[in-house]
Amino acid sequence: MAHFAKPENALKRADELINVGQKQDALQALHDLITSKRYRAWQKPLEKIMFKYLDLCVDLKRGRFAKDGLIQYRIVCQQVNVSSLEEVIKHFLHLSTEKAEQARSQADALEEALDVDDLEADRKPEDLQLSIVSGEKGKDRSDRELVTPWFKFLWETYRTVLEILRNNSKLEALYAMTAHKAFQFCKQYKRTTEFRRLCEIIRNHLANLNKYRDQRDRPDLSAPESLQLYLDTRFDQLKVATELGLWQEAFRSVEDIYGLMCMVKKTPKSSLLMVYYSKLTEIFWISSSPLYHAYAWFKLFSLQKNFNKNLSQKDLQLIASSVVLAALSVPPFDRAQSASHMELENEKERNLRMANLIGFNLEPKFEGRDMLSRSALLSELVSRGVLSCASQEVKDLFHVLEHEFHALDLGSKIQPLLEKISKSGGKLSSAPSLPEVQLSQYVPSLEKFATLRLLQQVSKIYQTIRIESLSQLVPFFEFSVVEKISVDALKNNFVAMKVDHMKGVVIFGNLGIESDGLKDHLAVFAESLNKVRAMLFPVPSKASKLGGIVPNLAETVEKEHKRLLARKSIIEKRKEDQERQQLEMEREEEQKRLKLQKLTEEAEQKRLAAELLERRKQRILREIEEKELEEAKALLEDTEKRMKKGKKKTLLDGKVTKETVKQMAITEQVKERQEMEKKLQKLARTMDYLERAKREEAAPLIEAAYQRRLVEEREFYEREQQREVELSRERHESDLKEKNRLSRMLEFKETFQGEVISRRQAEFDRIRTEREERISQMIRARKQERDIKRKQLYYLTTEEERIRKQQEEEEARKREEAEKRKKQEAEHKAKMDEIAEKQRQRERELEEKAKKSREELLKGTDAPPARPTEPTVAPAAPPAQGSGKYVPRFKRQTAEVSAPTQPPPAADSDRWGNRGQPAADDHWGSSRGGPSQRPDRWVPGSRGSDRPSGGDAWRSGEERRSPFGSSRPRPAQR
């Protein structure tokens, strides 16, 4: 096992191994890193490592490695960064799906390439041999070789991901998405066996979720989001099961959905319920359960009518017709009437189970055959108005079969209705969740039921009928089929008949003495006879002789009745007390049981915790021992690899430890080193001797070869020098000839060169002049633009300055006006306060004078004086006309002079509705008409010198109400 200081080093090492083609070693290196206990804290590089690790697992089809790595990564990420685990799992699913699709497309392309273009070409010998040996077609063989391994790996991927994500509240959405993808995989490739296993896996996950409720991060099914995800998964399972034709698995899916609904005590959405009941109709129809099929259609009709606001009248009529026809298709007899007790109990339990699935939660005290019945369903259809919503031909068929009696022409009346019904049906436009409604599927069952109804009606009017006549009455079937139907009806006591083929007749009414039908007929006949006898011979009422014998019979009966009622109430009270005591005892026992259970659970938890701790210790010790053993084995293998081939391997007896192997390895290394040193010394001596002998023999040979080489090289040098001199002379002569030949063109060359230079100089001057003119134009244009911008900027600045000065002047003017207005208001307020203060001072002086005159009058006489008409109250009249206004002095003086001529101020008393003198005990008498009978009430100092007078109290209230003081004086009486 390689150890890396950082996770990035492991990733680099894996990339290096992949580049040299060693993917298995790279996968092993990453697997060792992921499963190592050194990297149990989540880091960002671990996510990249997981991506690379899963890429290698998918490429090498190592599902077990992928599962181990994902489990370890889940332990690392569960409490830190769950989103990282989600991304890794999504990447894993994407890679597996992509590889499977690539294999599928590759197989399809190979099949297309294998198509023969030349029909006259012979087949290859190897193809003939392969086809004979294998017996497979080209596509089957290519699928088996290319597609099947990747499909197995993809299926293993789905199982691994579901196992890792199970019962994890933080990854519920990913779990649901994975289950949905697995369902689609089974549906797309018709994998029925895998679909059954997948359903069982999901079912076990939910069972474990309910079994282990103390798990950490356990999903809460009471949460709406979790419940919706689980329901969506089950409904996907139900849909795929019906599409694959796995009806038993579809029924188990329905039970799963119902169990989930019962577990959380909540009802799913109406849209999901519609899918639920639509699938139930298909399942019950396939399983030949017409009664449950009809009940499911009835429930589906109720949901569509109540919750589907877009349901059209045509679709509603089609659904209602389906419900009525499904109900009519139910056989009219109970198959369990003649069954044994055990069969009846099983049928009862089955009916209760189906009733719960359909949604009709009935009491379990009813018998099985009374829970769901054809008669109850038909009465429900009529009472709920389902029949009124059906089509006209369905209504006519219902009335003909259920309410009318047409023994001889029943078949002729029903046959045209059935032909119309068989042509009805189609896809519901406003209810896409429902399957395509085909009313023609009910026609065979309706024909069979019509035959039974016809036999029943014929048995009531005929005792014997010829077979030919009966065959003419039943236009649907031949007589052999009618005979089979009649046998089934006879077994279930629906009709009593016997076929005599020798005479060619059918005999009705041959029931035994103990038959149920005969007993019913006799009981009805006896009841009718009793009614007739009672009507013909009424019993005369006789006078009671007991009344004369016992005169006080009524009182005695009444007393006895009261005594019995009292006794009954006492007994009921005692029963209630006993029940209460029993409930208390049960409650106490329940509390004791719960307490004991709690103590037991606590003890069990402590025991489990101790066992867990002990197991953890044992596991740690075992891991340490295993690790040491692995290291020891690795050292031993390394030592054995370095040993010689002829040398025997070391045999270890007993328990191998790391220290023992280390000691052995060190000993072996020391021995090897000593032996190697001896060999090297011996080899060095041998090589030294050989090398010295070689040099002694080679010295004279080397000297002779050197002399020969000197002579050869001197000759070679002189020869090369002579050849170089000759070549130089020849080159010089050829160069002189070439110079003489080219000297004739020198004048033409100078002329041409001058022309070219002059032409290019003129072109250059022209271009330079144009460029200077263009630059000067650009300079002038830019200068004009700058002048324009400068003028615009100056104008804008000047205008802004002018506007700013206007605004400042306007604000200064407004401030001055506001200050002036405030100053005027303050002066006006001060003047009005001064005037009001003078007015209040004058009113106080007048009140003092009035008070003194009133005291003098009260001291002068004991009799109540007449209403005073002092002139002191007159000044109050003029200010009353203009309350809150300033009254000039000359007007107030004029009012004082004319006050004696004015009437007494009785208007105030009249204003309050008191026309005469107030009563002596009137609370306000002293302030209404005249002096009070209790003068000490208003005398200052009688109730304390600190109490203000009445006039002062009222005036203080008026002062509070007016901001500038009251300008209207109070009357003297107040």
Residue 360 has pLDDT above 70, yes or no: no
Residue 367 has pLDDT above 50, yes or no: no
Q: Which of the two residues, 349 and 719, has the higher pLDDT score?
A: 719
The answer to whether residues 967 and 885 touch, using CB atoms and an 8 Å cutoff, is yes
Q: CA separation (Å) from 58 to 18, 32, 228?
A: 14, 18, 33
Per DSSP bridges, beta strands 464-466 and 497-500 are unpaired
Residue 10 has pLDDT above 60, yes or no: yes
pLDDT digits (tens, 9 = 90+) for 893-910: 545 444 444 444 443 444
Listed ranges 583-597, 865-879, 921-935; the one with the highest mean pLDDT = 583-597
Residue 837's pLDDT is what? 93
pLDDT digits (tens, 9 = 90+) for 784-826: 999 999 999 999 999 999 999 999 999 999 999 999 999 999 9
Residue 115 has pLDDT above 60, yes or no: no
CA end-to-end span of the chain, whole Å? 115
Enumerate residues 6+ apart whose C-beta is below 8 A from 190.
244
pLDDT digits (tens, 9 = 90+) for 454-490: 888 888 888 888 888 888 888 888 888 888 888 888 8
Minimal CA–CA distance to 950: which of 967, 934, 937, 965? 937
Residue 337's pLDDT is what? 52
Residue 887's pLDDT is what? 60
Cβ-based neighbour number of residue 165 at 10 Å: 24
Q: Where are the beta strands (DSSP E) in 509-608?
A: none
| Strand order, beta sheet including 464-466 | 464-466, 505-508, 497-500
Minimal CA–CA distance to 284: which of 393, 372, 186? 372
Residue 340's pLDDT is what? 58
Q: What average pLDDT does this structure show over 245-254? A: 86
For residues 327 and 395, what is the distance between their CA atoms, to the nearest angstrom?
13
Burial class (CB in 10 A: 0-12, 13-18, 19+), 191: middle
Q: What average pLDDT does this structure show over 107-132? A: 49
Indicate the angle between helix axes 192-211 and 148-165, nearest 10 degrees. 10
Structure-block tokens of residue 418: 């059935």
Q: What average pLDDT does this structure show over 600-604? A: 87
For residues 910 and 928, what is the distance between their CA atoms, to the nearest angstrom?
9
pLDDT digits (tens, 9 = 90+) for 826-848: 999 999 999 999 999 999 999 99
Burial class (CB in 10 A: 0-12, 13-18, 19+), 671: exposed
The torsion angles phi and psi of 477, rounded to 5 degrees, stand at -125, 165
Enumerate residues 6+ apart whose C-beta is below 8 A from 107.
139, 142, 143, 146, 147
Minimal CA–CA distance to 452: which of 295, 330, 279, 556? 330
For residues 705 and 712, what is the distance between their CA atoms, to the nearest angstrom?
11
Percent of the chain with pLDDT over 70: 75
Residue 909's pLDDT is what? 40
pLDDT digits (tens, 9 = 90+) for 615-660: 888 889 888 888 887 877 777 777 777 665 445 555 444 456 667 7
pLDDT digits (tens, 9 = 90+) for 558-578: 888 888 888 888 988 888 888
Residue 913's pLDDT is what? 41
The torsion angles phi and psi of 436, rounded to 5 degrees, stand at -70, 125
Angle at 245 between CA 351 and CA 202, to 5 degrees: 75
The answer to whether residues 460 and 467 touch, using CB atoms and an 8 Å cutoff, is no
For residues 335 and 129, what is the distance between their CA atoms, to the nearest angstrom?
61
Structure-block tokens of residue 43: 């880091």
Residue 118's pLDDT is what? 38
Q: 3-class DSSP state for residue 500? A: strand
Instruction: Write down the mean pLDDT value for the chain.
Output: 76
| Helices (H) then strands (E): counts for the chain | 33, 5
The answer to whether residues 184 and 227 touch, using CB atoms and an 8 Å cutoff, is no
Residue 365 has pLDDT above 80, yes or no: no
Listed ranges 336-340, 377-381, 534-538, 699-703; the one with the highest mean pLDDT = 699-703
β-bridge mates for residue 83, sequence order = none
Residue 716 has pLDDT above 60, yes or no: yes
The pLDDT confidence band at residue 277, using thresholds 50, 70 and 90, is confident
Minimal CA–CA distance to 189: which of 154, 233, 230, 237? 154
Residue 931's pLDDT is what? 39
Percent of the chain with pLDDT over 90: 13
The torsion angles phi and psi of 76, rounded to 5 degrees, stand at -75, -40
Residue 342 has pLDDT above 80, yes or no: no
Q: Which of the two residues, 712 and 344, has the higher pLDDT score?
A: 712
The model's pTM is: 0.49
pLDDT digits (tens, 9 = 90+) for 293-310: 888 888 888 888 888 777
Residue 512's pLDDT is what? 46
pLDDT digits (tens, 9 = 90+) for 756-767: 999 999 999 999
Listed ranges 339-348, 418-427, 738-747, 826-835; the one with the highest mean pLDDT = 826-835
pLDDT digits (tens, 9 = 90+) for 515-533: 444 555 677 788 888 888 8
Enumerate residues 6+ apart whose C-beta is below 8 A from 69.
30, 31, 34, 35, 50, 53, 54, 57
Residue 717 has pLDDT above 80, yes or no: yes
The answer to whether residues 933 and 869 touch, using CB atoms and an 8 Å cutoff, is no
The torsion angles phi and psi of 704, rounded to 5 degrees, stand at -65, -40
Q: What is the DSSP letter of 466?
A: E
Residue 785's pLDDT is what? 94
β-bridge mates for residue 499, sequence order = 506
For residue 381, the one-letter residue type is: L
Residue 202 has pLDDT above 50, yes or no: yes
pLDDT digits (tens, 9 = 90+) for 393-404: 888 888 888 888
The pLDDT confidence band at residue 56, using thresholds 50, 70 and 90, is confident
Q: Which of the two residues, 920 and 700, has the higher pLDDT score?
A: 700
For residues 917 and 909, what is the distance between their CA atoms, to the nearest angstrom?
9
The answer to whether residues 884 and 964 touch, using CB atoms and an 8 Å cutoff, is yes
Q: CA separation (Å) from 143 to 106, 137, 210?
A: 10, 10, 42
The pLDDT confidence band at residue 26, using thresholds 50, 70 and 90, is confident
Lowest average pLDDT, out of 49-53, 358-362, 737-741, 941-945, goes to: 941-945
